[in-house]
Amino acid sequence: MTGPAIVALTQTGADLARRIHAALPGSRVHGLDPRVFGADVEFVDTAAHLRELFAAGTPIIGICAAGILIRVLAQHLSDKTREPPVLAVAEDGRAVVPLLGGHHGANELARAIADALGITAAVTTAGDVSLGLALDAPPRGWRVGNPKAAKTVTATLLAGEPVSLKVEAGDAGWLTRRHTFAAAAPVSIVVTDFDVGGDDATLVLHPPTLAIGIGSERGIAAAELEALIRDTLKSHDLSPRAVACLATLDLKEDETAMHEVAETLGVPLRFFAAETLAAETPRLKTPSAAVERAVGVAGVAEAAALAATGTGGRLVVPKVKSARATCAIARAAGNIDAENVGRARGRLSIVGIGPGDAAFRTPRAEAAIRDAEDVVGYALYLDLVRDLTGGKALHESRLGEESARVRIALDLAATGRNVALVSSGDAGVYGLAALAFELIDRGENPAWRRLDVRVHPGVSALLAAAARAGAPLGHDFCAISLSDLLTARPAIERRLAAAAQGDFVVALYNPASTQRRDLLARARDILLAHRKPDTPVVLARNLAREGEAIEIETLAGDWLDQVDMLTVVLIGSTETRLVQLGDEIRVYTPRGYGTKPGGGSGT
C-alpha cells in the first residue's frame, strides 16, 4: 500500500495535516492551490484529485467534512476488498472517522491519528465495536485463509449464536480471551498451519507458527529458491500463509535472491550469527561436515529454522535440496514474533537534510529518518531534524569527527539496526556518502559490505543559494571546495584555473575560515584573469536558517571579508547577468534558448 495522502483544503487544515504527517511515516501533505502553502503535493481541483488518489489505491485522509469525501467518491465504490482506506478528520482536530476500508487499514490509521492528536477514533465497524476484534484483520503475522467466511462468523457472533473453535497450531488467545466458543456448531473457526480449504461457514485462520530456514550458493536465482520453498510447503500440505519468516546465516545478508523471495512471500528475512546456529547442532537431522568446514555451521537451513522457532520448536521438514539451495521447516510451540527473531539486515540510510529549513527536506529524506531506529550526526544537524527523531536513539558527534561518525553508523547498522546518517545539504556533495563508501571499500569490517546502504539526496547548498539568487546555474557550472585539509592547495588552484578557462559558473564551498582566508583571494584572482571585474558574485550565508543573507557583489568588489564557512559563493561565467524585478535584483546565466528559432530547449 502506498503512503497516505493527507488532503488539506485550507491553511488551517494544512497545519493539522503536518501534525498528522509527523505521526505517519511515508505520508505526504496534499494542499489545495492557492489556499494552502508549503504542501508536498499541490492540486487545483479537489474532486478530480480525490478521484485520482482513490483510483490509484492511495489511502486518503481528508482534513475536511466527511460529506465532501462521500459525495466525491460515492459513485466510484465497487469492491470494498480492493478500495483504499478513506478517513475524514475534523479541521479542528477533534474527530477522526474511518469512512471506508476499516478492516483494510482505515481503523489502524484512525487510531494512529487519534493517538497523535490526543482524541478517540470514531471506529464504527461492528466487529471492532461489539466484539473487540476483527476476524478479517487478525493480529500481526496471522493470515486469513478464506476472507469471505469472516463475514458469516462475525454475524453469527454478533447475533449471540454459537461458533466453534478448533486450534491445531499456535496460540489463539486473542480469540479465546474475548469469547467462549462452543465444542461444536454449524459455524466454526479453524486455526491451523496446514493448507486446508474452508467454506462460507468455516473460517480458516493461519497463525505465524512456521519458520523456513534457507541456505544457498552465492548468486542463486530467486526463481530457484522460491520454487524450492513453495514445492516443499506444498508436498507437506503446509500453508504459505502460516510462514512467519525466512531465516538464514548472517553471511547471506547481501544475497539478493533471498531478499526477493522474502518480499514475494510477504514475510521478513531474519539472520543469525554462526555461533547461534552452531548451538542448534544437537537438534539437526542432517548435519554436514562439508558445510561446517565452509561456514562453521553443520547445517544452515535446519539450524536457522530451529533457531527461529526457539527451544520449543521442532523440525517438521528436514533439509530439502535443489541444485543450488536448501530449505527446512520448523514449527514453533506458539506464535512466532518475527520482529524478535534473530536480526534484520542492517540498513544505513545516508540522508541529505538540505540547508536546514524543513521546507527544503525531501519526503524521501524525511521518511528515511522517521523509519530509522538510530540517527547519527553532527549535533547541529540533529537539532535541525528534531521533529523527526522522537523516540529514536541519537548519536551526536562534533565537527571534524566525520570518520568516527560514519564508523559509528556503519557499526550500528552491522548489528541489524536501521540507521540514518544525516548530512547537511546533499549527502553526496561534500557530504558523508562518499566517506561511507570509502570506509566500506577499505575492508575494515567485512560485515559493512553486507549492509543495505541507501543514499537519499537533499537540497545542496549550491542549489539553495542559486534558487535564492535567481538562476545563476542556468548553464554549465562546477563546484570546488577551498578547504585544503583534505585536498592539496596546488590541486585546488589547478581546478580553479581549469574552471576559469572553461568559463564555468563556479560554486565555492568551504570558502574561508578564521585561519584560512588567503585561498579565497587567490581564487578570485585566478577567475579575474578570465572574467570581467563586474562579473556577478552571489554570497549566500546561513541558507534557510536564522540570519539568512543573500548578497550580490561583483568579482572585483570588496566582499572577501564577508565570507566565512557558513557562506556559499557563486561566481558567474562571462555570460551571467543581472535582471531587475521590482526592487530586487536577480542573477541568471542564459543557456542560449533566446538565440534559437522559437526559443526551443529540448528539455
Measure the CA–CA gap between 401 and 435, rounded to whole angstroms.
12
Q: Where are the beta strands (DSSP E) in 207-324?
A: 210-216, 243-249, 269-272, 314-321
pLDDT score, position 81? 65
pLDDT score, position 32? 93
Measure the CA–CA gap between 183 and 162, rounded to whole angstroms.
9
Q: Helix 433-442 to helix 402-414 angle, to the nearest 10 degrees?
A: 70
The answer to whether the CB of 322 falls within 8 A of the CB of 426 is: no
Measure the CA–CA gap between 581 and 596, rounded to whole angstroms.
25
pLDDT score, position 367? 87
List, for the chain, all residue ranges whose pLDDT scores fall below the cut of 70: 1-2, 80-81, 103, 124-132, 593-603
Measure the CA–CA gap between 122 and 66, rounded to whole angstroms.
12
Question: 575-588 in b/e burial notation, b at 16+ Cβ within 10 A?
Answer: bbeeeeeeeeebbb
pLDDT score, position 506? 98
The answer to whether the CB of 211 falls within 8 A of the CB of 175 is: no
The string of pLDDT tens digits covering residues 414-468 is 999 999 999 999 999 999 999 999 999 999 999 999 999 999 999 999 999 999 9
Beta bridge partners of 189: 165, 203
pLDDT score, position 478? 97
Q: Annotate 589-600 with three-state secondary structure.
A: CCCCHHHCHHHC
The answer to whether the CB of 243 falls within 8 A of the CB of 265 is: yes
Nearest to 109 by CA among 4, 2, 1, 266: 4
User: Which grid cell sits at 539?
Assistant: 554570497
pLDDT score, position 11? 92
User: To which residue does cell 473487540 refer?
Assistant: 132
The answer to whether the CB of 250 falls within 8 A of the CB of 274 is: yes
SS3 190: strand
Domains and CATH numbers, the chain: 5-124 (3.40.50.11220), 143-206 (no CATH), 210-340 (3.30.420.180), 347-459 (3.40.1010.10), 462-588 (3.30.950.10)
Q: Where are the beta strands (DSSP E) in 332-373?
A: 347-352
The answer to whether the CB of 328 falls within 8 A of the CB of 435 is: no
Name the strand (E) or helix (H) holding 455: strand 452-456
